[in-house]
C-alpha cells in the first residue's frame, strides 16, 4: 500500500471542507432559530479550516485545488430534518478526510488531523443528535 503523502491527505481534507461549505449554504436555508445560528457558526468554522488547509498545502509545495461551483447533494434537502441530516453527513465526510491526515508520518500533522476530527465529530453529533463509536471510520 502506497504511503499517504501529507499533501494528498491535506488536499482530501480541503475537498471535504469545500463540499461542507457548499452544503451548509443549502442546509442553513432550511433552518431557523438556534439551529440556523449553529449552521452559520459551523459554516464560518469550515471557511477558516479551508483557509488553513490551503496555506498548509502551499507551504508544503502543493497546489491547492479550488472549490467546485456545485456539489451533488446525497439526498434532497427540503426541510429542517433533512437539512440537519445533511449537516451531519457533511461533518462525517470532513471527519473521514481528517482521519486520512492522521495516517501521515509527520507527528504535527497527525495531531492536527486528530484535533480537527474531534471538532467535526462534535458537530456531527450535534446535528445527528447522538454520538458514534468510531467517527471517521467505516461502520
Partner 1 sequence: MPDIVPRRRLLLASATTLPLLLATAGCRSSDAFTGPDPLAGRPRPAPDVVTLQAVIASEQNLIELYRTALSGDSAAAGPAQELKPLLAQHEQHLTQLRARLIQPPGTASAPASASPASASPSVSPASASPASVSPSGSASAAAPAPVTLARLRAAEGASAAGLVRRLATVEPALAQLFASIAACDATHVTALGG
Q: Kindly state whether residue 103 participates in binding partner 1, applying the rule CB under 8 A.
A: yes
Closest separation between CB of residue 79 and partner 1, Å? 25
Q: Kindly state whether residue 37 participates in binding partner 1, applying the rule CB under 8 A.
A: no
Q: Kindly state whether residue 41 participates in binding partner 1, applying the rule CB under 8 A.
A: no
Q: Kindly state whether residue 10 participates in binding partner 1, applying the rule CB under 8 A.
A: no
Inter-residue contact 43 to 25 (CB < 8 Å): yes
Closest separation between CB of residue 111 and partner 1, Å? 6
Among residues 66 and 133, whose Cβ is nearest to partner 1? Answer: 133
Among residues 44 and 103, whose Cβ is nearest to partner 1? Answer: 103
**Residues binding partner 1 (CB under 8 A):** 4, 95, 99, 102-105, 107, 110-111, 113-115, 117-118, 120-122, 125-126, 130-137
Amino acid at each position: 500500500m502506497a504511503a499517504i503523502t501529507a499533501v494528498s491527505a491535506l488536499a482530501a481534507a480541503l475537498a471535504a471542507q469545500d463540499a461542507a461549505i457548499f452544503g451548509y449554504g443549502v442546509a442553513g436555508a432550511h433552518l431557523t432559530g438556534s439551529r440556523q445560528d449553529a449552521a452559520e457558526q459551523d459554516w464560518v468554522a469550515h471557511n477558516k479550516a479551508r483557509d488553513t488547509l490551503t496555506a498548509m498545502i502551499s507551504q508544503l509545495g502543493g497546489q491547492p485545488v479550488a472549490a467546485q461551483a456545485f456539489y451533488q447533494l446525497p439526498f434532497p434537502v427540503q426541510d429542517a430534518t433533512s437539512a440537519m441530516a445533511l449537516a451531519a453527513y457533511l461533518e462525517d465526510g470532513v471527519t473521514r478526510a481528517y482521519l486520512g491526515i492522521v495516517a501521515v508520518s509527520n507527528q504535527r500533522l497527525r495531531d492536527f488531523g486528530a484535533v480537527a476530527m474531534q471538532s467535526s465529530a462534535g458537530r456531527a453529533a450535534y446535528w445527528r443528535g447522538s454520538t458514534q463509536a468510531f467517527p471517521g471510520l467505516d461502520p
